[in-house]
Structure 1
Amino acid sequence: MNKIQKKILMITSVVLIIMVVFWIALTLFSHKTQNQYNEILQRYLSMNEVSRASQQVLTDLNNYMILSSVENLEKLEESKEQVESAKYEIFKLRNTENNFSITNYIHLIESFIETTDRLLLFQEEKDTEASAKEFSEANRISNYISEMTLSLIDTELNTYDRFYRGIIQQSEEFIKLGIWSLLLITFILLLVTYWFSLSIIRPVQKLTKAANELSKGNFDLQIKVDTNDEMAFLARTFDRMRININNLILEIKHKAGLERELQQNKILLQESQFRTLQSQISPHFLFNTLNTISKKAYLEGSEETSDLLVSVAGLLRYNLKQIDRAVTVEEEVAVINQYMHIQKARFTERLQFSFEIDKEALHVRIPPLTLQPIVENAVIHAIEPKEDGGHISFRVQDNIDQVMIEIEDDGQGMTAEKIKQILDEQMSPSEGHSTGIGFSNVVKRLRLFYGYEDVIDIESELGRGTKVVIKIRKQGGEIDAKAPNRG
């Protein structure tokens, strides 16, 4: 049996017990009143029985005197016994108020019986005159008995009048008590019923509210019911369902986010290739043309122009590679050399560039076109605006747990707000660079490639230059080195 059924059974049992107690009390009071009425009525009947029995004896005496038969004698004896029996009942009616009257009444009955016995004796002796005399005496005593019976009944009526009034008053008080008891019981039952209904309605209201919130997509409302019945179990089950649905939705969102990131990774890794394909001149044709011009310049004795064209062709060839595969740091360093050779030809002595390369770290895998856009950013923002040029340093260090790549310039620096925009990947995809790959794009590709957020850091202040630090964890670098392709 469940808890709610037990509560209903308990309330029903209490109602039944109260009704039974009330019915028993009413029955007992009614039975007591009825017994009191019966007792009074029995007193009147007992007195009246004496008068009736004495009259019957007179009638039987008269019949026996007329005809002294055995049958009439038996009837007379039977009537005498009734008088004797009635006399003993009169003894029970004695109390302090009627003691004297009852005593005289009993003496009259005894005198009547003695007179009847003498009449029978004279009748047996055939003494007619004495029999007639005794019959007259018996008749006189019977009349006295009838008169005294009426007197006693009248006395009893006067005596028990107060008792009658007391019974009536008790009945009225009992009726008032019954009404108040019913009102009190009704009030208590209403309170109990209200409390019981609240113990069911409140959890249902909470569940209804929670269901409405769930239908609106709000899964943060906790469902708590402080009861100890099936409604609490239902609330706990509903709350677990809410948590499970919420977890499922979060898992779906997480998977969708991963799908979106993977898709963005693909798009970002192919972005350079797509931008190159937008050119109206075929890159392969341009690459072959640059090679031809380079050879012609070399044959004509312009070695410096030839070297410059070779660097441009090498940079172009690197950009034509498949953008969806990983490269080594060594390949990226070679591209930076070619890029800086071109920029040195452009800025001459205004551009100072230094390399510090730890050869043990050159095998580490890295996304293509990662370092060159950062160096290009330094050239654009640190070298071009200054008339006397500037210095860019490039360092690759092989530490115990990670490989550090640092690109530092002595330019004008940048604000903390711009650093935050870059690291939050909120800058424009293309910031006027020749490669068409922006700084924020590089940050996003590095994070997607290595799978952690702190892969890149920027240290800069206005007027004090900028240092970009790329931190490649060795475990991640070794794993990436084993993977030839990375989407």
Structure 2
Amino acid sequence: MPPFQADGSKYNALNTMIALLPIDPEKTAELLHELSRYLRGSFDFRNRDQLTVLRQEMALVTSYLNLEKARFEDRLQVDYDIQADMNRLVPPLTIQPIVENAVRHGIMPKEEGGRVRISVQEQEERLEIAVEDNGTGMTPERMEAVREGRAGNGVGLKNINARLLTLFGTELMIDSDPERGTVVRFHVPKQKQRDSRMTQEEDRHESDIGR
């Protein structure tokens, strides 16, 4: 499922800009540029079986969250903890859909809103990626339905999980509790990143030779 598409989220962003335009034209222009960056970034990922640099995936996350913060204001708080080389390779459209699920299904159902924390930690052999929210959380039954793609917010996570299995033989790890929120984690092995980077460089080299 393409990001920022379910239930007309992009139209909600446009409605926010329309409402803001008479009050703050400058802010509206900033948000239009943010939406443009977001859509351009998401359309760039034509082949989800390839890898992208962490910088590009996080730019997508940041644009999405900036648009949502304009809509929800103080109800949405965001923390970033990025302790990794931004040129490391990750599967595209993995972090952003998890963040979107956290906002839509974890934080926004709460009247007071809540906080989303995105963490990327570089370990010796892999990147550890986690998206944590202090939202509504899930019961064990709901969590199982999400893992199997039977819940409304489970289809995207199921697709991400399938791609991780195909690319790295790893899976999403979901820890949730109705009293404290949800954490979704996954890791990306560095060895796979090096192999993928070499493959991409070889493809570019072959392309240059054929010109």
Measured against the shorter chain, the TM-score band is 0.7 to 0.9
Match of 1:368 in 2: 92
Task: Extract unaligned runs of 5+ from structure 2.
Answer: 6-13, 204-211
Residue 400 of structure 1 aligns to a residue whose secondary structure is: coil
Q: Distance in 1 between matches of 2:42 and 2:127?
A: 25
Q: Does 1:379 align with 2:97?
A: no
Match of 2:46 in 1: 323
- Counterpart of 2:157 (choices 439, 457, 470) is 439
Higher radius of gyration, 1 or 2: 1
- Counterpart of 1:406 (choices 130, 146, 154) is 130
Letter in 2 for 1:327: T
Write the deviation string for residues 140-177 of structure 1: whole angstroms up to 9, x where unpaired.
xxxxxxxxxxxxxxxxxxxxxxxxxxxxxxxxxxxxxx
Q: Distance in 2 between matches of 1:272 and 1:347?
A: 22
TM-score (norm 2): 0.77
TM-score (norm 1): 0.35
Letter in 2 for 1:312: L
Match of 1:311 in 2: 34
Change (3 A) 1:322 1:340: closer
Write the deviation string for residues 121-158 of structure 1: whole angstroms up to 9, x where unpaired.
xxxxxxxxxxxxxxxxxxxxxxxxxxxxxxxxxxxxxx
Change (3 A) 1:459 1:322: closer
The Cα of 1:348 is off from its aligned counterpart by: 0.4
Match of 1:416 in 2: 140
Residue 396 of structure 1 aligns to a residue whose secondary structure is: strand
Change (3 A) 1:322 1:405: closer
Q: Does 1:482 align with 2:198?
A: yes
Change (3 A) 1:413 1:378: same
Change (3 A) 1:474 1:351: same
Match of 1:470 in 2: 186
Count of aligned pairs: 187
Match of 1:343 in 2: 68
Identity value in percent: 33
- Counterpart of 1:392 (choices 116, 123, 129) is 116
Q: Distance in 2 between matches of 1:481 and 1:331?
A: 15
| Contact map agreement 1:427 1:440 (CA 8 A) in 2 | no
The Cα of 1:389 is off from its aligned counterpart by: 0.8
As a proportion of its length, which structure holds more strand?
A: 2
The Cα of 1:412 is off from its aligned counterpart by: 1.7
The Cα of 1:367 is off from its aligned counterpart by: 2.2
Q: Distance in 1 between matches of 2:74 and 2:172?
A: 30
Residue 411 of structure 1 aligns to a residue whose secondary structure is: coil
